[in-house]
Amino acid sequence: MHLPHHPSDLFNIAAMAKKTEVDMFSYLTDSLILIVISFLPFEEAAKTSVLSKRWRHLWHETKKIEFDQSFFIKQQGGEESNKIQRRVFIDFCKHWIQTYNPGLTANEFRLALSNPQENDTDTQLFIRFAVDHRVKALDLDFSHPKWDENSLGDENQVGLFELPPFVYEHKGLESLTLFSCNFRVSLLNKFLALKSISLGGVKLTSSCLKELISNCPLLESLSMKNCFGCRMHFLDEAYEFGH
C-alpha cells in the first residue's frame, strides 16, 4: 500500500479505514501528521503525544508554539505557590526548546509570562529561540493575568520588558504582537516583511504612531488595546491599510 503524499489522499484513506476498521492515521506519513498537529492549539498538540509511541515526539516539531504560563499557574494560589509553578513552567519551556529540530521554521510563537524582568535570561532565551527558527508571527505578552483596565492605568505596570535588539534583525517577521513590552519605533523599518502589528499596555504618543506607520510600508493592520496616548488617555483603536 502506498502512503499518502498529498492532503487530497486523506479522502481515500478515510474510505479505506471505514471499510477495514483500521485507524486511518496509521496510514499517514509523519509530514502529514505534523500538518494536522500544527493546526491544533499548542496545549491540544501536546495531548497527541499519548496517542501512540509514534506520536510521542512528533508534536515537538509543531510549527505553532505557545508557551503560556496559564497552562501551569493557577491564580487562586498564593504568591509563593505561583513562583514555584512559574519556575516549573520555565523549566518545561527550556527543556522543550532543547528538543526542537534546529532545522525547522516556526510559523507562530507566543510567550505569555508575567514578571519577565525577574526571569530576564530565560525570557531572552525563549525569544532568541523564536528568532533563530525564523518565526513569521511573534506574540509576546508580559502582562499579569489579574490586570484589568484599571490596573493598566498605573504607568509602573506598562511596558515591563524591552524588546531585545536582536529581534529587529529578523527581517522575515510578518506579524508582531506586544503586550506590556516596550519597543523602539525607529527600528521597525528593519522588519522588511511586517504586515500586522498589535500593541497593548504600552505608551504610544501621536508622533510615535505616525513614525510607526511611516516605518512599516507593508503594514496592512494595526490594533492597539489599552495603550497610553499623548494625553495619558487609553488608546483603543484598530486600523486597516490598503496598498
Each residue's pLDDT tens digit, 85-120? 888 899 988 988 998 888 889 899 999 998 898 899
Residue 50, pLDDT > 90, answer no
> What residue ranges do the domains of the chain occupy?
1-61, 63-240
Q: Based on DSSP, count helices (H) and strands (E) in the chain, helices before strands.
A: 6, 9
pLDDT digits (tens, 9 = 90+) for 58-73: 666 678 889 999 888 7
Residue 62 amino acid letter: T
Q: Which residue has the higher pLDDT, 118 or 135?
A: 135
List, in sequence order, every residue forming a beta bridge with 203; answer none if it has no partner: 228
Its pTM surpasses 0.85: no
Sign of CA dihedral 46, 100, 65, 139: positive
Distance, CA of 104 to CA of 187 (rounded, Å): 27
pLDDT value of position 234: 53
